[in-house]
Structure 1
Amino acid sequence: MKKVLLTLLSIILLNTSYAQNAKSYYDDGMKQAYAGKLEEAIILLNKSLDLDKSDFVVWYNRGIMKSFLYNYEGAIKDYEESLILNSNNKQAYLSRGTAKKNLTDYLGAIADYDLALKIDSNYAEAYYNRGLVNEMLDKTDLASADYRKALIKGAKDAQRKVDDIGKPKPSNYFSILTLNKTAEDKKYGYSEKDPIKVGNGPSGGPGNQRAYLNLLRDAQGKPVTYNRVGSCCAYKSKYGLMGTALLDKYEITFRNDKNVEEKVIVFISMYDYEDLKIINGFKTIAK
């Protein structure tokens, strides 16, 4: 009997050790995340999950980190694992919806925001984000109702949307939902003389820049990562400050047709809009 008890005790201690190691990896991973070292953080959370897959928070936070790295497909899988463990995690529905939006699954995004609101009818962020998608889809009445709900529930940022929704849009306003053709000019986007002009949209000019870049896929069919590295190249624009606008420079990291990592610089204007094209060397989301 004593031997059995000792064996059981050793198993309990072993399991406790595993759990403690899993927590240590998670804590260290979160420290790396807060320091902005997301790839290092994910490695540590991987180790945590290797030891203990039962904590929905670890799955959720790894999904958030993947989203910040534009790995939306991977993030969605983590959010789904989190929801299996805790189906009342409204943040996971919200985050999964946003990841789906970035993958152009707009109806899927709305469905996830609906699920978040089913859990918490006072969830201001869900109303606001659902409003953004409805506005992108030109469903103005629905978007207006969502923004008003978000404002009532405490989202102060929604006031501007409530004020602006339904007003006539300027010629540089455009919702970027898909990309359909590749540029014939190989310098398109790679030269400051022929920049990508994304204009303004439901999430503002920077939101349109992200929307365009999120639609790009490399030769492997994988999402690219990108980072704004500065601005340059003043030019005349009626939408710029005092008639002058700047281009934003983005560094895109991707894998070429030989699966070798490369980096390129592209030039994007968020002030003016022109018919968008896929820059040479890239694809877009397969339909």
Structure 2
Amino acid sequence: MKTSRLALHLLAPALMVGCASSTASTRPTEPTPTTEVAATPAAPSGYGYSEDEPIHVGGGVDGEMEYLEHLRGPQGQKVRYERRGSCCFFESKESPFGSGMLDVYDVSYDGLAQPVTLYLNMYELKEPRAPEGFTLD
């Protein structure tokens, strides 16, 4: 039986301890297992920079990819991103399982001294905006 890519993404949180990971700046072709990511203690606080204030992109993995493709540096620089994994279990009526985990991305752009860590919620959609230091095109 052939399983669709969408079905794999919907079932992955229930079937795996970790979640898919990608080292590319584009959507991965096949998910690979990873371990849960611990929050970065020195990360800046505020919208998108912490598990307490994630970016609510909705739309599953596709919603995350679309958001990241429109995220830009402060002068319009294209961003690079790498998915580190998942963290921060939470209950969600928007998730088909009643709960979810945040996805954690390291994001950088030309001119940024070191990558920053952003937290995305693929289950719940709220008006996404750019975190401090970024813009959306």
Which TM-score band (shorter chain)? 0.5 to 0.7
The 5-angstrom pairing of residues 37-52 of structure 1 reads none
Aligned to 1:284: 136
Residue of structure 2 equivalent to 1:274: 126
In our comparison, the structure showing a higher alpha carbon Rg is: 1
Report the Cα distance in structure 2 between the residues aligned to 1:271 and 1:280, rounded to whole angstroms.
22
Contact 1:198 1:272 survives alignment (8 Å): yes
- Structure 1 residues 69, 196: CA separation in 2 closer, same or farther (over 3 Å shift)? closer
How far residue 260 of structure 1 moved from its aligned partner, in angstroms, is 4.2
Give the deviation of 1:284 after TM superposition.
2.4
Determine if contact 2:25/2:82 at 8 Å carries over to the other structure. no
Q: For 1:198 and 1:271, locate their aligned partners in 2 and report how far apart those are by CA, in whole Å.
A: 7
Distance (whole Å) between structure 1 residues aligned to residue 106 and residue 49 of structure 2: 11
Gaps of 5+ in 2: 1-23, 27-44
**In 1, Cα distance between equivalents of 2:72 and 2:50:** 20
The alpha-carbon distance between structure 1 residues 260 and 231, as it changes in their structure 2 partners (threshold 3 A), is closer
| Distance change >3 Å, CA 232–CA 221, structure 1 → 2 | same
Please give the per-residue CA displacement for 1:101-121, whole angstroms capped at 9, x wherever unaligned: xxxxxxxxxxxxxxxxxxxxx
Counterpart amino acid of residue 274 in structure 1: K
Query: Cα distance, 1:220 vs. partner?
Result: 3.5
CA contact (8 A) 1:208 1:270 kept: yes
Quick check: which one's helix share is greater?
Answer: 1
Deviation at 1:240, TM superposition (A): 2.6
Tell me if structure 1 keeps the 8 A contact 2:129–2:136: no
Q: How many residues align?
A: 96
Which of 67, 72, 75 is 1:212 aligned to? 67
1:238 CA displacement: 1.5
CA gap 1:238/1:223 in 2 versus in 1, 3 angstroms: same
Counterpart residue number, 1:78: none
Partner AA of 1:195 in structure 2:
P
Question: Which of 1 and 2 has higher RCO (CA within 8 Å, sep 6+)?
Answer: 2
Amino acid at match of 2:62: G
* Conserved? CA contact 1:239–1:245, under 8 Å: no
Counterpart residue type for residue 120 of structure 2 = I
Percent identity for Structure 1 against Structure 2: 35
Task: Give every structure 1 segment of 4 or more consecutive aligned residues whose post-TM-superposition deviation is greater than 4 Å.
Answer: none
Quote the offset at 1:265 in angstroms. Answer: 0.6
Q: How does 1:67-82 map to 2 (within 5 A)?
A: 69=25
Higher strand share: 2
SS at match of 1:210: helix
| Residue equivalent to 2:38 | none
Question: In the alignment, is the contact (CA less than 8 A) between 1:251 and 1:265 conserved in 2?
Answer: yes
Q: Does 1:264 align with 2:116?
A: yes
Q: After TM superposition, give the deviation of residue 188 of structure 1 in Å.
A: 0.4
d(CA) in 2 for partners of 1:227 and 1:278? 18
Give the C-alpha shift of residue 235 in structure 1: 0.7
Distance 1:217 1:241, change over 3 A: same
Provide, for residues 257-287 of structure 1, a one-character-per-residue CA deviation record: whole Å limited to 9, x for no partner. Answer: xx344201111011111111111101222xx
Change (3 A) 1:220 1:242: closer
